[in-house]
């Protein structure tokens, strides 16, 4: 990964050779994948190896992993939902809408980037047009509205210079720098990494443990053979924070529409600091603490193993393989690295909040259902490439990615670790909110799911970029309700909540003209599995939300042929009868009084729609 230091910026301002920029553009064009390209990692690069753990709170992602069905249990929350190894030929059910006719991000665009008060851009766009990315210089503050960066940590009051020694106590950042500089020299042990992290986190000396790091070093390091080279580079990258982040990063707080655009290099620097646990005030999640409504970002919960469990320790070590592969890629200094592999692009994080008064009145929506492609094979990530991809999210973004969670959202974040940085600034999602992430790159492939998850080697992402150098990949995180009692989902309030949540994720960007087409949605059994959702109900809810949002949909049932057939038949029945959203909504509301006696959802709706259709 190239570093945008001052000499590089000077070269951008006075370019003498534009061959690199031309080469990058040509490289991406020459490797243009087809719209439904599976983009498998090449054989030569297959690799040798095949809700956060809050102290006082169990995140949904961790609990889900403990109860998640195996990858062969088709009614799960999205078995193999983001697998990069699933067959590329999805089973077409009946006369399902052809996938090739669905609108894509590349055809429709991903929305314009605007320099407005609610969009913070941390790169200098003047340099972007000259072939490189440099940080934008702006105001740096330390307050409750922005990320508290470790190099800005204030010196505690009363720390005056001693008259005897004439030396002031070292600042926390100075201690951090000294500790990480030791690691940049190489020839270290895992004990040295532990010592470095604890030097500036002494309050957690008797709380944090590092079994997973030791497990990785003892059992997996021989296979991956990158620990000795990548840790020093990561430490160096973390220390570049003052040079790479020259403008305050706002917190994406609840009930606010705000966006942040960062370069991939800036993200890698922030994640390197998260790995070494440098972010202040982010380790305490007790009720009443400053960040109780945010997910954790420091990696301490990934390194430890409380209570000790050999299986979970091995699972976390597999997570480390994916994360270290990411850092291996972003710190690689290889002049022969392909232009399409260099993480020198841009990623946008957008928190979207729709006020209650602007949400649809479902009983009055006269929209017809949009086109639907149903497949029992394939995945959101692979076959859904180029569409708006749904992240079955936790309200704490990333779920248990830094803990023990290993289902759809966590795996997604491990394959694209740039998504993890959203935990640094995204407050938990409310019922009328989502997080949309545009431009993230995939770095790893994997096999298995939940307990059988394994890192399966590097992944070479050749997805093309837009004019802002964001990859044509857009992910929307929407959190489903968690039904401990599954019958609770068949209430009017809960169905309305899920309709609203899906609509918030699918809604047209206000800046996009209504006559413009929108990319289709790639989704599946959202909120099912351990969250207790009924896939048949969730499919209808998403279809209704997509209709009001004016988007087609690709629905992957993850190996469940019977669900694919039932969904396609139900959709055909609704389309044949030209059923609008309001009629379907009434049928669902009527169903709420029958669900507890075991009445089949689709059979009930067929009957209701048939009666209503005859009266039209």
Hey, which residues are catalytic here? Answer: 391, 409-410
Q: Are the C-beta atoms of 354 and 504 separated by less than 8 Å?
A: yes
Report CA-CA distances (Å) from 159 to 154, 240, 281: 11, 26, 20
d(CA 499, CA 546) in angstroms, rounded, equals 10
Kindly state the greatest CA–CA separation across the chain. Answer: 95
What is the DSSP code (8-state) at residue 344?
-
Within 8 A by CB and 6+ apart from 228, the residues are: 186, 188
What is the DSSP code (8-state) at residue 335?
T
**Terminal C-alpha separation, the chain:** 63
Within 8 A by CB and 6+ apart from 121, the residues are: 113, 115, 136, 261
Residue 446 sits at φ, ψ, to 5 deg, of -150, 170
3-state percent helix, strand, coil for the chain, nearest multiple of 5: 40, 10, 50
Q: Quick one: which of 265, 291, 583, 602 has its CA closest to 423?
A: 291
Q: Are the C-beta atoms of 478 and 345 separated by less than 8 Å?
A: no
d(CA 252, CA 295) in angstroms, rounded, equals 12
The residue to which tokens 């790639």 are assigned: 522
Burial readout 304-316 (b: 16 or more C-beta within 10 A, e: otherwise): bbeeeeeebbbbb
Return the number of other C-beta atoms located less than 10 Å from residue 41's C-beta.
19
Whole-number CA gyration radius for the chain = 25
Return the number of other C-beta atoms located less than 10 Å from residue 285's C-beta.
22
d(CA 164, CA 167) in angstroms, rounded, equals 8
Residue 378's DSSP bridge partners are none
């Amino acid at each position: 990964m190239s570093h945008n230091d001052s000499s590089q910026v000077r070269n951008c301002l006075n370019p003498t050779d534009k061959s690199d920029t031309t080469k990058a553009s040509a490289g991406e064009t020459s490797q243009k994948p087809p719209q439904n390209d599976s983009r498998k990692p090449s054989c030569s690069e297959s690799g040798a190896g095949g809700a956060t753990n809050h102290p006082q709170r169990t995140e949904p992602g961790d609990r889900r992993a403990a109860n998640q069905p195996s990858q062969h249990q088709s009614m799960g929350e999205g078995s193999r939902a983001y697998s990069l190894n699933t067959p590329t030929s999805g089973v077409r059910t009946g006369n399902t809408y052809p996938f090739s006719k669905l609108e894509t991000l590349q055809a429709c665009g991903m929305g314009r980037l605007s320099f407005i008060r609610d969009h913070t851009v941390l790169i200098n766009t003047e340099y972007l047009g000259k072939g490189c990315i440099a940080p934008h210089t702006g105001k740096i503050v330390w307050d409750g509205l922005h990320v508290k960066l470790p190099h800005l940590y204030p010196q505690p009051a009363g720390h005056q210079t001693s008259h005897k020694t004439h030396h002031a106590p070292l600042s926390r950042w100075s201690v951090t720098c000294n500790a990480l500089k030791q690691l940049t020299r190489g020839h270290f042990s895992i004990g040295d990494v532990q010592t470095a992290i604890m030097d500036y986190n002494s309050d957690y000396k008797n709380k944090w443990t590092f079994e997973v790091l030791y497990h990785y070093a003892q059992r997996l390091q021989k296979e991956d053979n990158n620990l000795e080279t990548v840790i020093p580079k990561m430490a160096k990258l973390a220390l570049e924070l003052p040079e790479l982040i020259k403008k305050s990063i706002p917190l994406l707080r609840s009930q606010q529409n705000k966006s942040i655009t960062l370069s991939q290099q800036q993200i890698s620097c922030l994640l390197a600091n998260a790995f070494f646990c440098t972010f202040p005030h982010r380790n305490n999640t007790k009720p009443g603490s400053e960040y109780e409504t945010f997910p954790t970002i420091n990696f301490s919960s990934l390194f430890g193993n409380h209570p000790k469990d050999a299986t979970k320790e091995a699972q976390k070590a597999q997570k480390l393989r994916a994360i270290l592969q990411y850092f291996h890629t972003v710190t690689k200094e290889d002049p022969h690295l392909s232009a399409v592999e260099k993480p020198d692009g841009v990623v946008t994080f957008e928190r979207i909040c729709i006020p209650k008064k602007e949400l649809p009145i479902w009983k009055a929506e006269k929209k017809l259902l949009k086109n639907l492609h149903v497949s029992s094979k394939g995945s959101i990530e692979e076959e859904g490439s180029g569409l708006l991809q749904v992240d079955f999210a936790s309200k704490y973004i990333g779920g248990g990615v830094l803990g023990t969670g290993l289902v759809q959202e966590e795996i997604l974040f491990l394959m694209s670790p740039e998504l993890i940085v959203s935990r640094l600034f995204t407050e938990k999602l409310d019922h009328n909110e989502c997080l949309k992430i545009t431009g993230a790159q995939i770095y790893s492939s994997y096999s298995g799911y939940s307990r059988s998850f394994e890192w399966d080697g590097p992944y070479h992402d050749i997805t093309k970029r837009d004019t802002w150098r964001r990859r044509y990949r857009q992910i929307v995180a929407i959190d489903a309700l968690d039904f401990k009692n599954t019958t609770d989902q068949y209430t009017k309030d809960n169905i309305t909540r899920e309709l609203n949540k899906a609509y918030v994720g699918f809604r047209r960007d206000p800046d996009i003209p209504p006559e413009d087409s929108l990319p289709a949605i790639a989704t599946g059994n959202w909120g099912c599995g351990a969250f207790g959702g009924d896939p048949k109900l969730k499919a209808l809810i998403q279809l209704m939300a997509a209709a009001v949002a004016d988007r087609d949909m690709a629905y992957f049932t993850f190996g469940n042929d019977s669900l694919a057939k039932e969904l396609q038949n139900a959709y055909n029945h609704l389309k044949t009868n030209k059923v609008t959203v309001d009629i379907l909504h009434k049928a669902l509301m009527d169903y709420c009084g029958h669900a507890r006696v075991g009445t089949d959802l689709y059979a009930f709706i067929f009957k209701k729609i048939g009666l209503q259709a005859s009266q039209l």
